[in-house]
Structure 1
Amino acid sequence: MSSFESLIEYCKDDWNRYIQHDFVQQLGKGILDKSCFQHYLKQDYLFLIQFSRAWGLAVYKSHDILEIRQALASMKAIVEVELDLHVQYCKEWGISKQELDNLPEAEANIAYTRYMLDAGQQGDLLDLHIALAPCLIGYGVLARWIEQQSWYQAHNNPYQSWIDMYTGDEFHAAMQAEIEWINQRLAGIDSQRFQKLAEIFSKATQLEADFWQMGLNKSY
């Protein structure tokens, strides 16, 4: 029976490169260059805008009122809460709202977000969720992975509030709900359908790793 773990197993090397990326390790050690983190934060603001569009697409792709409500709630959470929180967090790192509003979009950001949207447009609601899963679930996995490492430095780590966000109970409750949603829909699917979904998941995971690399390189 297919499950979210089956997707990870399908692209285990890519998944580990994403979860254990050098950006993630430097962040966990507290040694990540401030300018790299700022670059990531700025691009993540643009990512969230596209992420809200993906949830808007999820509303359209939904088949019943429960799915519509769930997708709408996710979209509203980003548009009405998360974006404002992100702007405030960026301000703490010396990034103004004006700067965020005038940012060029990095190639890695374009590649990842447009891939997510394209996967959802060409496929169904499950295809879209699978494309979103490395972000929706992966951040929680990698934050917990950081905490388990012997090199993890919590004391005086300038990025501790970021780690706390993704190890917190609220994020993990949402993460587990997403895993359960995916598992319910993967149960009993045929091998051909799983193969297609696994390819989407693998590509999205690779693009997530590229997003970290973009942060390290401070590239556009």
Structure 2
Amino acid sequence: MKLFDRLKADAPDAWSAYVSHEFVKQLGEGSLPLASFRHYLIQDYLFLIQFSRAYALAVYKSPTVDDMELSLAGLNGIFSEMGLHLELCEGWGLSRADITAAPEMTQTMAYTRFVLEAGMAGDLLDLQTALAPCVLGYAEIGATLAEQNAGTLESNPYRRWIEEYSGDGYQSLARDFAAWMDKTADVYLTEARYDRLRSTFEKASWLEADFWQMGLEI
């Protein structure tokens, strides 16, 4: 079994709370309040700033040049995603200055700092495991929403977001990340260590669910 699939299977409650959150459901239906989506966009941009630092840390933690190249590709992917967010935010009347001046919410800080701490305290596999719920979860969420809401996607105000994460570009990025994670696990993973990785993955998934919840509680 692939490492990501094993981690999901061993953290079912946390994973379901994240990928099937009410925020996600409303996003797919197009019923999410616009104020909630605007708030999410701002915080997710601030979130991605910290995630770019996590990928920069992955470059440092990489044991091989190949790993360094993959870390750098991930960093470039984050910057592309930040560009999407600026585009979406501009469509909702939010400038880059508005976004960068906004304070980070507790939920934003909680997950991003958790990821950075996991990477600083551990090795590349620890960092990948902490990143996985975000990188791979968004791919799963995007694909699921596109499939479940195919008939109404045309009129969905959040269509651009769904198409971005269900699209070939992001889906390919996610597959590459999962393969990279498996490659790292071939070197570093032992059964004695697995419980620690499962705990990291589970905590990160709960923190992602908390991030969605933040968007509903403005």
User: Structure 2, unaligned stretches of length 5 or more?
Assistant: none
The question of whether the paired residues in 1 share the 8 Å contact of 2:119 and 2:126 is answered with yes
2 CA distance for matches of 1:48 and 1:28? 22
The question of whether the paired residues in 2 share the 8 Å contact of 1:29 and 1:152 is answered with no
After superposition, residues 93-112 of structure 1 pair within 5 angstroms as: 93-112=92-111
2 CA distance for matches of 1:149 and 1:89? 23
Per the alignment, residue 169 of structure 1 pairs with 168
User: SS where residue 32 of structure 1 aligns?
Assistant: coil
Percent identity of equivalent pairs: 43
CA deviations 1:150-205 (Å, max 9, x no partner) are 79731310001100001101111111111112223335833221111111000000
Deviation at 1:99, TM superposition (A): 0.8
2 CA distance for matches of 1:133 and 1:156? 31
User: Structure 1, unaligned stretches of length 5 or more?
Assistant: none
2 CA distance for matches of 1:112 and 1:153? 32
Please tell me the residue identity of whatever aligns with 1:50.
Q
Per the alignment, residue 90 of structure 1 pairs with 89
After superposition, residues 3-152 of structure 1 pair within 5 angstroms as: 3-79=3-79, 81-149=80-148
The question of whether the paired residues in 1 share the 8 Å contact of 2:28 and 2:145 is answered with yes
Aligned pair count reads 217
CA RMSD after TM alignment: 1.8
CA deviations 1:98-127 (Å, max 9, x no partner) are 211210000000000000000000000010
2 CA distance for matches of 1:159 and 1:196? 37
Range with bigger deviation, 67-76 or 183-192: 183-192
Deviation at 1:93, TM superposition (A): 1.1
Please tell me the residue identity of whatever aligns with 2:185.
L
User: SS where residue 52 of structure 2 aligns?
Assistant: helix
The question of whether the paired residues in 2 share the 8 Å contact of 1:130 and 1:200 is answered with yes
After superposition, residues 182-197 of structure 1 pair within 5 angstroms as: 182-187=181-186, 189-197=189-197
Please tell me the residue identity of whatever aligns with 1:122.
A
The question of whether the paired residues in 1 share the 8 Å contact of 2:146 and 2:163 is answered with no
2 CA distance for matches of 1:49 and 1:86? 11
Per the alignment, residue 214 of structure 1 pairs with 214
The question of whether the paired residues in 1 share the 8 Å contact of 2:29 and 2:149 is answered with no
1 CA distance for matches of 2:42 and 2:148? 27
TM-score (norm 1): 0.92
1:12–1:156: structure 2 CA closer, same or farther, 3 Å change rule?
Answer: same
